[in-house]
Structure 1
Amino acid sequence: MPGSSSSSSSARLHKVLAEAGIGSRRKCEEIIQEGRVEVDGEFVTELGTVVDPEKQKITVDGQRIRARRKQYFILNKPVGVVSTNFDQEGRTRVVDLVPQDERLFTIGRLDRQSEGLIIVTNDGELANQLAHPRYGVAKTYHVEVAGMPSPDELKMIQSGVYFAEGFVQAESCKLKRKLKKSAILEIVLREGKNREIRRMLAKVGHKVLKLKRVSIGPLKLGEVPAGAFRELTPSEVKALRAYSDAERAKGAPKRKSAGRRTAGTSNFVPGKKTAKKKPFGPGRKKKKKRNTGGQKTPLVSEARRGQGRIVKQKKASRKKQTRQK
C-alpha cells in the first residue's frame, strides 16, 4: 500500500519521480494530482505519499519509472577549473573531469584559484545535507599566506570579522607550519560564503598564496592526485550521512547579523565591549500625552485659513479708513 513503506530508500512520491527524470518536483506534483501515477496498480493523487522505489512498482502514464543509480565521486580539483555546471566562457568544469551518463553536480564549491577536495554526485538530498548552513558540516582547509600571522591575528580570524553580507568566523584557525617568507594555516569552517577565507585573511593583512580543501566532515582527500577522482565506497557515503545528521541534531552554529554596516568596513575589535542601546519595553519611559480636555486640536490647514481671514479684515479696514480721510 502507498504510504506504508518505512525503509531507508523510502521517499515522497514527487521526489522519487523528480529523481527519475520525470520533471521538476513541482511538475511531478501536478502529474500526481492529475491522476497519472500508479503505485502497485493503485492510482495515487495525494501529495506527500511515501513510497519505496526499490520495492514498489511505480508507473507514470502506464510506463514504469527507472530509479537512477546514485553516483558519488571524490575529486581533487586543480587550480584553473571552475566548480559551476554552467560556464558562459567555456572554461573547464569539475564535472568535465568525471565520466558521466547522467547529470552530475558538485557539493561544496571552490573558486577557480583554489584546489582540493570536492564531491561530485547526482544525489540532491546528500548535497543539501552537506552544503546547507543549518547542518554545520565542518570543512578543513590548508592555506599558505604571505608573511607570518601573529597569535592575535589568528585569534581574530577565529573570533570573527564583519563583511557587508554578515558576520563570519572560523571554527578554528591555527598555525600548521612556518616557512621562510610565508606560513601554512589550518582553517576549519562550518559555513562558506564567497571567497570567505581569502577575505578574512585580507582583513588581518595577509594575502593567500595557496588554498586547498583537505576534508569535508569525515571524508579526507588523502592521496588523490590533482585532476584525478575515485568513487566513494558505500561506507564513506553512509559516514557522510551519519555525520550530517549528527551535526544537525546538535544544532547549526548561531550566526550574527552585520547590522547596518558600510560595505567593506569593520569596527570589530576582539575583547572590546560595545555600548548597549536602551531596550524598548517596560524599562523605557513613554512620552505623556497632553490633556486637551476632550477638545480636538484644530488642523493646521484650518489654523492657516483663520490667519488668512484676519489679514484680509485688517486690509479692508485700512482701505475704509483711507477713503474716509
Structure 2
Amino acid sequence: MPEERLQKILAKAGLASRRNAEELIRQGKVTVDGKVVTEMGCRVDPDTQVVAFEGRPLRREEEKIYLLLNKPRGYVTTLHDPQGRPIVSSLLTGITSRVFPVGRLDFDTEGALILTNDGDFTERILHPRFEIERTYQATVRGLPTPEKIRLLEEGFELEGKKTWPAKVRIVAKEPTTTTLEVTIHEGRKRQVRMMFQAIGHRVLALKRIAYGGLQLGALPTGKYRRLTPADLALIFS
C-alpha cells in the first residue's frame, strides 16, 4: 500500500476527523513504530508500520457506520465529559463500533446529529468550502421585524467576522414568541443563538431539523437510525 499522511490513517481508522486527528498528533498521543510523531507531514505505510494511539495499535479500517440521532436537550456531544453530564454515545444502544459526532449541538439544543467512524465524510460535512447547509427551528422571544430578518438574510458582523447570508422563514407567531426556520452553512459555536441575540431576540428553544436535504423527520427524541447511501446522497444534494 502506498504511504499516506498520518492524519488520514487516523481518520480512516475512525479515530477522529482529519482536523481533530491533527490535534491528537500535536498532543503527542500518536506513535509510529513506537516513536512519538508530532509533525503534520509524516507519511506512513500502514501495511508495514505500526501506528498507535495512546499506546494502542490502530485496528484495520472498519466498516463505515453512519447514524442519525435525535439528540435530546441535556446531553453533550463529546465522548467524555469531566463534569459527568450525559453524553450522546450513551444513547447508541447496540452500536459497538467507536463513532464520533459530526460537529456539535449545544447542551440545550436538540435535534439532528450525525455520528460516524468515517473521518473523510466528517471533513466533507464540516469544512466551510463544501457549504453543507444545516437547518434549525428556533423559537425566539418577541417578533423580529422584517428589517431584522433582512439582517440575518444578508449577513452582518458578529464577533468581528461577517456571517454568511442565512435563509429565514417564519413558521409560527404567538403573542410573545416567534418560531422560525433558519438555514446556514457555517458552524461557529452557538451561532444561531448568537445571531438572534445580536438582533435583540433571545432564543428560547433550538432544534436542528436537517443536514442538507436529509431531514430529521419523525425520528423520536433520544433514538437513532442507520443512514443508507440514499440518505447520505441527500446531505450533499
TM range (shorter): 0.7 to 0.9
Instruction: Give 1:190 shift.
Output: 1.0
**The one of 139, 159, 175 aligned to 2:154:** 159
Aligned residues of 2:11 and 2:119 also touching (Cα < 8 A): no
- SS at structure 2 position matched to 1:214: strand
- SS at structure 2 position matched to 1:194: coil
Q: How does 1:43-54 map to 2 (within 5 A)?
A: 47=43
Q: How does 1:131-150 map to 2 (within 5 A)?
A: 131-150=126-145
How many aligned residue pairs are there?
213
- Look up the match of 2:71: 77
CA 1:148–1:102 in structure 2 vs 1: closer, same or farther (change >3 Å)? same
Inter-partner Cα distance in structure 2 for 1:88 and 1:152 = 43
Amino acid at match of 1:176: V
Larger Rg: 1
Instruction: Give 1:163 shift.
Output: 2.4
Inter-partner Cα distance in structure 2 for 1:17 and 1:146 = 44
**The one of 187, 204, 222 aligned to 1:209:** 204
Q: Compare the two structures and name the one with the higher helix fraction.
A: 1
- Look up the match of 1:295: none
- SS at structure 1 position matched to 2:60: coil
- SS at structure 2 position matched to 1:209: strand
> If the length of structure 2 is used for normalisation, what is the TM-score?
0.77
Aligned residues of 1:149 and 1:206 also touching (Cα < 8 A): yes
Mean alpha-carbon deviation: is it higher for 187-196 or for 12-21? 12-21
Aligned CA RMSD, in angstroms, stands at: 3.2
> If the length of structure 1 is used for normalisation, what is the TM-score?
0.57
Aligned residues of 1:20 and 1:67 also touching (Cα < 8 A): yes
Inter-partner Cα distance in structure 1 for 2:67 and 2:195 = 30
Q: How does 1:15-94 map to 2 (within 5 A)?
A: 15-16=8-9, 19-20=12-13, 30-31=32-33, 47=43, 58=47, 60=49, 66-94=60-88
* Structure 1 unmatched ranges of 5 or more: 4-10, 32-45, 52-57, 247-325
* Residue 225 (structure 2) pairs with residue 230 (structure 1): yes
* Residue 136 (structure 2) pairs with residue 130 (structure 1): no
* Structure 2 unmatched ranges of 5 or more: 16-20, 34-41, 51-56
Inter-partner Cα distance in structure 2 for 1:136 and 1:123 = 19
Inter-partner Cα distance in structure 2 for 1:132 and 1:215 = 17
Aligned residues of 1:29 and 1:47 also touching (Cα < 8 A): no
